[in-house]
Amino acid sequence: MRGPHNILRLIRTGATLERTGAMGLVMNAMDAPPQVRAIMRFLAWPFQWLGYKGDPGMPPATRALTALGPAYIKFGQILSTRPDLVGDDLATQLRVLQDKLPPFSTDAARESVAQELGAEVDSLFDEFSPPVAAASIAQVHRARLRDTGEAVAVKVLRPGIEKAFRKDIDAFYFAANVIEFLSPSSRRLRPTDVIAHFEGVVMGELDLRLEASSASEFAANTGEDDGFALPEIKWHMSSRRVMTMGWADGLPLGDNAALDAGGHDRVALGERVLQLFLSHALRDGYFHADMHQGNLKVAPNGDIIAYDFGIMGHIDEYTRRVYAEILYGFIKRDYRRVAEVHFEAGYVPADRDVDEFARALRAVGEPIFGMDASHISMGSLLSYLFEVTERFGMETRTELILLQRTMVVVEGVARSLDPQINIWQVARPVVEDYIRKSIGPRAMSRDLGKTLTVLSRYGPRLPRIVENALIRQSMPVAPAPRPSRVWPAIWAMGGAVTGAAAMAAVFLLG
């Protein structure tokens, strides 16, 4: 699949951006230099006819991404939460991608529900509305259960979404391979591994049974969290392509005017959404990894309601401690400790200078403190961070990609509620609480108890394990088998025959 045919897909991407008028917006958002703008226009303009036309009624950026497919839409959803990176105009256009995409027909949805649940829609529900929200992978219908009368949300996958998504991911793989080939320095960022991680995450989103399971586990972890609520999953009304859950009444978290009219404190909401995310990531190691405004509501009592659990993140306990120590070091402005944690975790090669790395981190972190959030240039900050990681040979950590991406999204959500929010001040109590509970003396005794518990399970087997290890160590090592010469000879013969045939063809055809 990952062959040169994907060149056409990538050319079509640029051509679609040019044809829909989105190329200029993207270049402006990236603050691209004049030479880059000229090159992109020169490459895309002749191929405009290959680009998708899209829906002329949509804004240019939304029009381009919806025409290109679901993976591009997912990327646009992330950017829609970061007006500080892409500008207010482009962020506003892209916000439509969260839950206001063109729906597929209600008849197709009813047919899918009947096929998946094994009964006609009218026998399951008293009501089944037209779609109330449509996103890149699925759409939602409001319904009422016939047996209980309860209002529910029925989520249905788009027809053919699996095939469309695989086509997009195939092109992304091809682009990553080309980048690695043409730019060896980019290999430290492991673009192919990044795409593989992204593929694994979103392919899980295409099985709604997994989403229902994720929602159930998330609810068990967060049941005691104040100001946070989740709709209940209806397992008997869910399957691979259909999921039914309780209906969530509330105001969209992205509608500031409605929140103000409802008397909600947007500053408090911004702080809470950021602290909830950090608490779930550090305390539980299991977090909602798609926390944009389209997946969050505010209940009449002020609770934040989360839904759409197709993308969930998981990090192990050791990585959580490393991440917390890095955050805590930045909060305390202890850049030496932040640098040491990077070296201890193996994120930076051991042959680099820890003091020099600490000084580089200070240059990244110091501008954040004591400065109005609205005056921080996130673009310049990210650019300098990239230079620092490149200089010190840091590789992309695929296990942290989802965590880092979600942190960017959540920060964008919080800043859309309160542009003056200081993420470090808001994060401090959550991180300090985790540090106190997971790295102090009490945590050490708890870890020792866990270790002893594991050893006790293996106690009866330890003598046999030691005896087998000693026997294997005393056995002579068998010589490695000599490589067979048969297959190389066959390949060489095949190459000779192919070459002779090619030469004969050239000679005969002149």
Q: 254 in helix, strand or coil? A: coil
Q: What is d(CA 318, CA 38) in angstroms, rounded to the nearest whole number? A: 47
Name the β-bridge partners of 157.
138
Handedness of CA 497, 498, 499, 504 (dihedral sign): positive
Is residue 290 within 8 Å of 214, Cβ to Cβ?
Answer: no
Task: Show Cβ contacts of residue 243 under 8 Å, excluding neighbours closer than 6 positions.
Answer: 154, 155, 208, 209, 211, 212, 233
Specify burial of residue 413 (Cβ count, 10 A radius: 0-12, 13-18, 19+): buried
Task: Show Cβ contacts of residue 7 under 8 Å, excluding neighbours closer than 6 positions.
Answer: 174
Q: Hey, which residues are catalytic here?
A: 290
Is residue 296 within 8 Å of 446, Cβ to Cβ?
Answer: no
Across 111-182, the runs of DSSP E, i.e. the strands, are 125-134, 138-145, 151-157
The secondary structure of 305-332 as a DSSP string is EE---SSEEE--HHHHHHHHHHHHHHHH
Count how many residues are written for the chain: 510
Our CA angle for 305, 308, 313, nearest 5°, is 100
φ, ψ at 134 (rounded to 5°): -135, 125
DSSP 250: S
- What is the four-CA torsion angle of 170, 173, 175, 181, rounded to 10 degrees? -140
Q: Which residues of 178-201 are buried (b: 16+ CB within 10 A; e: fewer)?
A: eebeeeeeeeebbbbbebbbbbeb
Q: H helices of 183-279, where?
A: 191-205, 208-222, 256-261, 266-279
Structure tokens at 105: 């027909």
Name the β-bridge partners of 156.
139, 242
Is residue 294 within 8 Å of 135, Cβ to Cβ?
Answer: yes
Q: Tokens 């990609």 label which residue? A: 401
The separation between the first and the last C-alpha atoms of the chain, rounded to the nearest angstrom, is: 35
Q: What is d(CA 154, CA 114) in angstroms, rounded to the nearest whole number? A: 12
